[in-house]
Amino acid sequence: MSTGTARPIRHAPDDVDQRLLNALQAGIPLSRRPFAEIGEAVGLDEAEVLRRMQVLKDAAIIRQVSAIFDTRALGYESTLVAASYPDDRLFDAAAVVNGHPGVSHNYRRTHHFNMWFTLAVEPDARMSLEDTLDVLARETGATSMRILPTLMLYKINVQLDMTGEKGTTGRAAPVPPPRRGDGAPPSAEDRAAILVLQEDLPLVPEPFDAWAAESGWNVDDLLAKADELRERTLMRRFAAVLNHRRAGFGANGMAVWKVPADHVDDFGSRMATFTSVSHCYRRPTYDDWPYNLFTMVHARSKDACEETIAALADEAGLGADDYAVLYSTLEFKKVRLRYYSPEYRAWEDIAMAGQPLPTG
């Protein structure tokens, strides 16, 4: 399903790799020599940073180094989707769902709703998000499909603690919910920069110069535009994205909570302070889905994941009947969403013509 073209090498990150990976996840400087600055922060020279990063990429521990954009801030409509399939149809259905270019994450999870994926549709899409899901549900034979958009975002910050210094129940200071753009849609110049910045940064001493030369931008203008997009929070950060399992984080638990409506914002804000929690959202409920608060926990083992989730339950004063934990057992698809891609319109052309949907 989601595989590379070359077999990754075997590599166990040492202590220096772990410190480097933490720094790379926190953010790549938007400067002419970003890897020299990263090296200075972790006690390495630029050449050694690049050498180690190449090994970590060859081992598929680093998936990509690029801008991480806020999809909604760019004008896309997006949602998490829970779907239910008979076991004998699950894999065929996943292939069809994966064929939509707006599906970036798709997992099998331990629940009656056994497929969970994210879907985004472009600002100028001809099919609404609901219409798109109606087509996917019909064509894949879903027995149930629930739309679970973000009603309130308390945290989104996927940074795996490679050194383990923060522990499974480590906390950070409370922060306000992240800002999601400035309300202004991306301009034509913004879009042109996004097309460049969403690519995988080359591992060379002056990577933004290389991008500028290929795309026709002046490098200083490109960096200034990147910094502007970050200031406007259209870009959340420019950073390395890791392959969780290859980085040693084999437990991916989605803890979902039944929280009284008048307490959900308080509980969400408090749960967001746990460093092992990468995502925290309020989402809608249904008759067959009573959970309104979602937390994603990544850990090196199921036991470590359970330790964090138990601490979350204690923090909120919730009992075993008030939550469920859905573990990811198979990754059907995990890619960076590609913005402003002609693949969206091509998929719509096929769907609107009633032709068989592409697979991925």
Residues 155-173 pLDDT 10s = 988 777 777 777 778 888 8
Per CATH, the architecture of 12-59 is what?
Orthogonal Bundle (1.10)
For the cut 90, the answer to whether the pLDDT of residue 33 exceeds it is yes
Q: In what order do the strands lie in the sheet with 152-156?
A: 144-148, 77-84, 115-121, 103-109, 323-334, 251-257, 293-299, 277-282, 152-156
225 near 235, Cβ under 8 Å?
no
pTM over 0.85: yes
For the cut 90, the answer to whether the pLDDT of residue 1 exceeds it is no
Q: Is domain 73-173+245-334 annotated with CATH 3.30.70.3460?
A: yes
Distances from the Cα of 5 to the Cα of 1, 12, 97, 120, 204, angstroms: 12, 21, 21, 26, 22
Number of H helices, E strands in the chain: 11, 11
Q: Which residues are designated catalytic?
A: 105
Domain residue extents for the chain: 12-59, 73-173+245-334
- What percent of the chain has a predicted confidence (pLDDT) above 70? 98
What's the mean pLDDT when you consider all of the chain? 94
